[in-house]
Amino acid sequence: MILDAKIPAGPLAEKWSKHKFNLKLVNPANKRKYNVIVVGTGLAGASAAASLAELGYNVTAFCFQDSPRRAHSIAAQGGINAAKNYRNDGDSVYRLFYDTIKGGDYRAREGNVYRLAEVSVNIIDQCVAQGVPFAREYGGLLDNRSFGGAQVSRTFYARGQTGQQLLLGAYSALNRQIHEGKVKMYTRTEMLDVVVVDGKAQGIVTRNLVTGAIETHAGHAVLLATGGYGNVFYLSTNAMGCNVTAAWRAHKRGAFFANPCYTQIHPTCIPVTGDHQSKLTLMSESLRNDGRVWAPKTVELAQKLRKGELKVTDLKEEDRDYFLERKYPSFGNLVPRDVASRNAKEVVDEGKGVGASGVAVYLDFAESIARLGEDTVRAKYGNLFDMYYQITDEDPYKVPMRIYPAVHYTMGGLWVDYNLMTTLPGLYCLGEANFSDHGANRLGASALMQGLADGYFVVPYTVGDYLATIGPKPIDTTHPAFAQTKKDVEDRIQQLIALKGTKTVDEYHRELGHIMWEYCGMARSAEGLNKAKGLIAQLKVDFWKNAIVLGENEEFNSSLEKAGRVADFIELGALMIEDALNRTESCGGHFRVESQTEEGEALRDDEHFAYVAAWEYTGEDKPEVLNKEPLVFENVKLTQRSYK
């Protein structure tokens, strides 16, 4: 099946304006007759819920955390891009569009990405109006920095916690609507299924995490803003609660899952220390603006460093290999994330890794401290340095940081058209949960931009078009599909509760993570992926036989919660492997060892793979069907990325 993305025709710069005009409007008096369900209250979910409620729709919003403010958008550190060109350094909407398309290794849609760049400027205005305390210059205007490989300074930031500040902005807008009675908020509530009535998404089934109550909720449209699935790797920079369940359940009800193998491995994370580790901590990429990445030149020196026979500060300058600066003279330490990550892995695989485990490289600030002074460095990165110190007990002002890549973001997600609607009519998907704008690799400071663009400026228009089409006829939970879906959910919970085996759910999760990281991580091969396929199939069988799930449904049961999520992760893992096997090219975060240039750089295959792979669920244990959406490039010329 060839998928239609419904990208409007016409010149790139006019697509969105024209489309907005062509979208149907809902009569203001009718808006209050509609109910929209929003699942997830991160940047995309909270901004969408607030904006839709402001327009007059009734919104029911859900989050599994104890407060909408805690969604994992909160953890984004670095910043948010916007093509404001406040710095007069040649930025423009087109340049942001171009950088994003190129950064995504030409695996994203031109139309979507241009729209993203276009509304990026509105996001900053909106956030400032809400009172988001962005960093400012002494003149009182907004400060910008260059970030993650961009040649212009277009990143707005709020010290090291831009994500929290933007989320608090969206959360405050959401709070205002809750206060005014336009949004009904359910916290500590997890979505477990989508209710499909006559081929349209018309509701969801949820579980109250505290009481275990299974409830159904009806709505004219359902918006999923449920985040990424990086936790399929067990160790990632995602929050512990991040999961794929909502998206996966929707997938099983008819929403296609696009490009699941596209995962972003972030280069600057704190290395793993042991098996007990529950998550990885990212340090903002902005560190690469002033820090220099290096490893010892020889394996012998690396061994000495690992054993503690040599102190890192005693290593002579000529014994250090600043490998990013050496290999990419024009971008140096600021190469895109996938390139930086893969090079770190290469160095470690060669045996030149440092730290007790040998799985890390250095990020050194000695030169910047000498050049700028410790105080300037402290002002810029103080909180990150403190965080590093807390975790590792090492002072980064004195010894270089140790870093290693970690899973950070998933570019794949539910397939959506230009309107952000999935292949299941009435079901929308926003933010990291959808696949749309980042192609095969996301640029730094673009995730916050996309989440807010979707929530504030895209979905409020496009949902209206759908709602106007279906009309304001009341929708409630009396349709038999609600009872049936609820029963499906309850049956599955009973199946899980019945598991009284010998291995904990965390043990399965950890095992899944090892398989995914080993075979579907920074470098993937047909051989490894095929092996992983078998391992995951075994794991799934074993899970449903030997997992331990304690307690009962009618209580606050973390064991049951986790079990449901891990079961879905196992199935997703299998699909990721399938997708990675199918895509025999290398592109962005997806590096197939079979497809590389002579210099070992990723080699794309535009002739065969310039498409979005959207997977269709066909039934339990049946192979998923691949549907393709061809990517058409009318404005940019496809080139091999080079950061040399």
Instruction: Name residues whose C-beta falls within 8 Å of residue 254's C-beta, 6 or more positions apart in sequence.
Output: 196, 423, 424, 617
Show contacts with other proteins in window 476-505 (CB under 8 A).
504
What is the rounded CA–CA span in Å between residue 96 and residue 151? 10
Shortest Cβ 40–other proteins spacing (Å): 13
Binding mask 557-586 for other proteins (x = CB under 8 A): -xx---------------------------
Is there a contact between 324 and 343 (Cβ–Cβ < 8 Å)?
Answer: yes
Q: Rg for the chain (alpha carbons), in Å? A: 24
Residue 67 DSSP code: S
Residue number, 134 or 323, with CB nearest to other proteins: 134
Applying CB under 8 A, among 62, 256, 428, 456 the residue interacting with other proteins is: 456
Applying CB under 8 A, among 7, 142, 366, 399 the residue interacting with other proteins is: 142
Q: Does 181 bind other proteins (CB under 8 A)?
A: no
Shortest Cβ 625–other proteins spacing (Å): 35
Residue number, 382 or 425, with CB nearest to other proteins: 382
Q: Does 159 bind other proteins (CB under 8 A)?
A: yes
Of residues 244, 570, 574, the one with CA closest to residue 414? 244
Shortest Cβ 504–other proteins spacing (Å): 5
What is the rounded CA–CA span in Å between residue 513 and residue 395? 30
Show contacts with other proteins in window 369-428 (CB under 8 A).
386-387, 390-391, 393
Show contacts with other proteins in window 198-227 (CB under 8 A).
210
Shortest Cβ 192–other proteins spacing (Å): 19
Applying CB under 8 A, among 165, 485, 595, 627 the residue interacting with other proteins is: 165
What is the rounded CA–CA span in Å between residue 42 and residue 163? 10
Show contacts with other proteins in window 507-526 (CB under 8 A).
507
Range 533-542, long-range pairs (CB < 8 A, 24+ positions): 533/574, 533/577, 533/578, 533/581, 536/512, 536/570, 536/573, 536/574, 536/577, 537/574, 539/508, 539/511, 539/512, 539/515, 539/570, 540/570, 540/571, 540/574, 542/503, 542/508
Shortest Cβ 183–other proteins spacing (Å): 10
Of residues 271, 496, 505, the one with CA closest to residue 394? 271
Residue number, 241 or 521, with CB nearest to other proteins: 241
Q: Does 63 bind other proteins (CB under 8 A)?
A: no
What is the rounded CA–CA span in Å between residue 447 and residue 120? 11
Show contacts with other proteins in window 10-49 (CB under 8 A).
47
What is the rounded CA–CA span in Å between residue 259 and residue 252? 16
Residue number, 499 or 574, with CB nearest to other proteins: 499
Shortest Cβ 75–other proteins spacing (Å): 5
Shortest Cβ 130–other proteins spacing (Å): 6
Q: Does 178 bind other proteins (CB under 8 A)?
A: yes
Shortest Cβ 376–other proteins spacing (Å): 15
CA 105 to chain centre: 17
- Alpha-carbon dihedral angle through residues 320, 325, 327, 330, given to the nearest 10 degrees: -170
- The site that binds other proteins (CB under 8 A) totals a number of residues, namely 81
Backbone angles phi, psi at 342, to 5 degrees: -65, -35
Applying CB under 8 A, among 23, 54, 616, 635 the residue interacting with other proteins is: 54
Show contacts with other proteins in window 107-136 (CB under 8 A).
122, 124-131, 133-136
Residue 451 identity (one-letter amino acid): G
Q: Does 359 bind other proteins (CB under 8 A)?
A: no
Burial classification of residue 8, based on how many CB atoms lie within 10 Å of its CB (0-12 exposed, 13-18 middle, 19 or more buried): middle
For the chain, the farthest-separated pair of C-alpha atoms sits apart, in whole angstroms, at 76
Binding mask 224-263 for other proteins (x = CB under 8 A): -------------x-xxx----------------------
Is there a contact between 418 and 112 (Cβ–Cβ < 8 Å)?
Answer: yes
Applying CB under 8 A, among 9, 29, 90, 139 the residue interacting with other proteins is: 139
Q: Does 67 bind other proteins (CB under 8 A)?
A: yes
Applying CB under 8 A, among 19, 31, 69, 337 the residue interacting with other proteins is: 69
Shortest Cβ 606–other proteins spacing (Å): 38
Q: Does 537 bind other proteins (CB under 8 A)?
A: no
Shortest Cβ 137–other proteins spacing (Å): 6
Instruction: Name residues whose C-beta falls within 8 Å of residue 416's C-beta, 6 or more positions apart in sequence.
Output: 422, 428, 429, 434, 435, 436
What is the rounded CA–CA span in Å between residue 414 and residue 420? 10
Of residues 366, 369, 404, 384, the one with CA closest to residue 271? 404
CA separation, residue 217 to residues 11, 204, 243, 253, 481 (Å): 41, 5, 21, 16, 12
Which segment (69-77, 442-450, 474-482, 579-587) binds other proteins by CB under 8 A?
Answer: 69-77
Applying CB under 8 A, among 161, 189, 286, 434 the residue interacting with other proteins is: 161
Q: Give start and end residues of each alpha helix (H) in 400-553.
A: 447-452, 459-470, 480-497, 505-519, 526-546
HSE (CB half, 13 Å, CA atoms) of 123? 37
176 sits in which H/E element: helix 162-179
Residue number, 176 or 252, with CB nearest to other proteins: 176
Q: Does 70 bind other proteins (CB under 8 A)?
A: yes
Residue number, 256 or 457, with CB nearest to other proteins: 457
Which segment (50-58, 107-115, 253-261, 528-536) binds other proteins by CB under 8 A?
Answer: 50-58
Residue number, 274 or 619, with CB nearest to other proteins: 274
Shortest Cβ 57–other proteins spacing (Å): 13
Applying CB under 8 A, among 173, 196, 449, 499 the residue interacting with other proteins is: 173
Applying CB under 8 A, among 548, 603, 626, 636 the residue interacting with other proteins is: 548
Which segment (173-181, 200-208, 307-315, 597-605) binds other proteins by CB under 8 A?
Answer: 173-181
Which segment (169-177, 357-365, 572-580, 592-600) binds other proteins by CB under 8 A?
Answer: 169-177
Residues in the chain: 644
Applying CB under 8 A, among 506, 542, 605, 606 the residue interacting with other proteins is: 506
Q: Which residues are catalytic?
A: 337
Q: Does 187 bind other proteins (CB under 8 A)?
A: yes
Is there a contact between 272 and 358 (Cβ–Cβ < 8 Å)?
Answer: no
Residue 458 DSSP code: I
Applying CB under 8 A, among 276, 307, 473, 622 the residue interacting with other proteins is: 276
